[in-house]
Amino acid sequence: MPAIEPELPSGYAVTLESLKALVASAQLRAQRVVNAAMIELYWKIGRTILERQQAEPWGSNVLGRLAEDLRREFPHMKGFSRRNLYYMRAFAEAWNAPAEFVQTVSAQISWSHNVALLDRLQDQKLREWYAHRAVQHGWSLSVLEHQIASRLHEREGAAPNNLEARLPGEGTALAREVAKDPLVLDFLGLTPEADEAAIEQAMTLRMAQTLMEFGTGMAFVGRQVHLEVGGDDFYVDLLLYHIPTDRYVVVELKAGKFKPEHLGQLNFYVSVVNDKIRLPRQRPAVGILVCGSKNQHTVRYALDGAAQPLAVASYTYETLPEAEQQALPSPEAIVNALDLDNK
């Protein structure tokens, strides 16, 4: 006969959820402390190797022996491979002063994140730029690698826009948040011949990736959102919401080359959203026209004549040109470059 469950107090479920949240929070804090300690350890090991190499010929053979001895002494610890020792050395060389290390965000991201920064970027300022954003936005390793490959630092805020002119005091910062150019839509799996309907459908099916590409803090409101104006019907391709600035983002998709009349249509949609959907507490909506290609001069003239805050972004299905992909150093190349025995 099954045991009879005792009757629980009315507040038990709420208390249980509260305690579960406390445990999860404590686990997360513990993980962060352990991660920071490990990153600091790896930096110190790398720093020691650098110092020894300045005094003695510590090359591949010595580091291979060092890796074996460390694994033998600490069999329960992972990470003491010869290759990883080279990464520790490169890490210490990149963050080359203790004060700089203490202040950096590198201890707040995983070792895999740090290795990706070493592998894919040669400029230390860019490593710091991406590391900071990885912490700020909680990027996973795959997201970090995608943002580096798609050269986010060049695309952020690059879309022609009139946001500062129409939203003085906040437009410049907002442009950095939402005005990327080009948008990299490689995750949609489409060909260059795809029309607006196909792009819109693919974006909807892969909404999480789409929102991330448009900007951090974006939420999906609807697709083909109906606007009724004096008995006439209109439909917004995508309506998003930028949570950090508390405003709607109206997205209009055009598969071909930019035309000035496209911006007139988007300007109209933003006006209607402000009038019929936006609440008094919410900030004015902005519009993003996403097109296949554009003439920068034509775009600038069209933006000057637009009353609403708008941006114009092109899109591409290629993460990086093949030549740039081939230019990225491989892990083996980094190890070989640091192998003093081969010099």
- Digit-coded pLDDT (tens) for 94-145: 987 665 665 678 889 999 999 999 999 999 999 999 999 999 888 999 999 9
Query: Quick one: 159 and 254 in the same domain?
Result: yes
Query: Quick one: 208 and 75 in the same domain?
Result: no
Angstrom distance (rounded) from CA 11 to CA 37: 39
Query: Quick one: 121 and 139 in the same domain?
Result: yes
Return the pLDDT at 2: 63
The continuous run of DSSP H or E covering 36 comes out as helix 12-55
Name the pTM for this structure. 0.78
Query: Quick one: 252 and 145 in the same domain?
Result: no
Angstrom distance (rounded) from CA 154 to CA 320: 12
Please report whether residue 275 resides in a domain. yes
Q: Which of 316, 310, 312, 315 is nearest to 298 (CA)?
A: 312
Please report whether residue 327 resides in a domain. no
List residues bridging with 232 in a β-sheet. Answer: 229
Number of compact structural domains in the chain: 2
Instruction: Look up the domain containing 231 and give its range.
Output: 153-318
Return the pLDDT at 342: 39
Q: Which of 243, 240, 260, 101 is nearest to 183 (CA)?
A: 240
Do residues 293 and 316 lie in contact, with contact meaning Cβ atoms separated by under 8 Å?
no
Do residues 218 and 211 lie in contact, with contact meaning Cβ atoms separated by under 8 Å?
yes
**Residue 231, C-beta contacts closer than 8 angstroms, at least 6 positions apart:** none
Please report whether residue 324 resides in a domain. no
Query: Quick one: 122 and 259 in the same domain?
Result: no
Query: Quick one: 259 and 275 in the same domain?
Result: yes
Query: Quick one: 205 and 127 in the same domain?
Result: no
Return the pLDDT at 334: 41
DSSP letter string over 129-166? Answer: HHHHHHHHHT--HHHHHHHHHTTHHHHTT-S-B-HHHH
| Residue 283 structure tokens | 């900030």
Q: State the Cα angle at 168 between 164 and 172, rounded to 5°.
A: 40
Q: Residues 247-291: pLDDT tens digits?
A: 999 999 998 899 999 999 999 999 999 999 999 999 999 999 999
Angstrom distance (rounded) from CA 212 to CA 158: 16
Query: Quick one: 191 and 146 in the same domain?
Result: no
Angstrom distance (rounded) from CA 46 to CA 30: 24
Please report whether residue 7 resides in a domain. no
Q: Which of 187, 189, 195, 193 is nearest to 211 (CA)?
A: 187
Return the pLDDT at 28: 84
Residue 338: is its pLDDT beyond 60? no
Please report whether residue 236 resides in a domain. yes
List residues bridging with 161 in a β-sheet. Answer: 311
Please report whether residue 330 resides in a domain. no
Query: Quick one: 137 and 231 in the same domain?
Result: no
Q: Which of 300, 228, 197, 307 is nearest to 258 (CA)?
A: 300
Do residues 148 and 130 lie in contact, with contact meaning Cβ atoms separated by under 8 Å?
yes
A 10 A CB-CB count for 216 gives: 16
Q: What secondary structure, in 3-state letters, does 71-87 show?
A: HHHCCCCCCCCHHHHHH
The continuous run of DSSP H or E covering 64 comes out as helix 60-73
Q: What is the CATH number of the domain that holds 310?
A: 3.40.1350.10
Q: What are the strands, taking DSSP E only, across the chain?
A: 183-184, 218-229, 232-242, 247-257, 286-293, 310-316
Choose between 5 and 250: higher pLDDT. Answer: 250
Query: Quick one: 184 and 44 in the same domain?
Result: no
Query: Quick one: 168 and 121 in the same domain?
Result: no
Angstrom distance (rounded) from CA 111 to CA 197: 42
Please report whether residue 1 resides in a domain. no
Please report whether residue 217 resides in a domain. yes
Angstrom distance (rounded) from CA 172 to CA 269: 22
Written as one letter, the residue type at 239 is L
Query: Quick one: 294 and 306 in the same domain?
Result: yes
The model's confidence at residue 329, banded by pLDDT at 50, 70 and 90, is very low
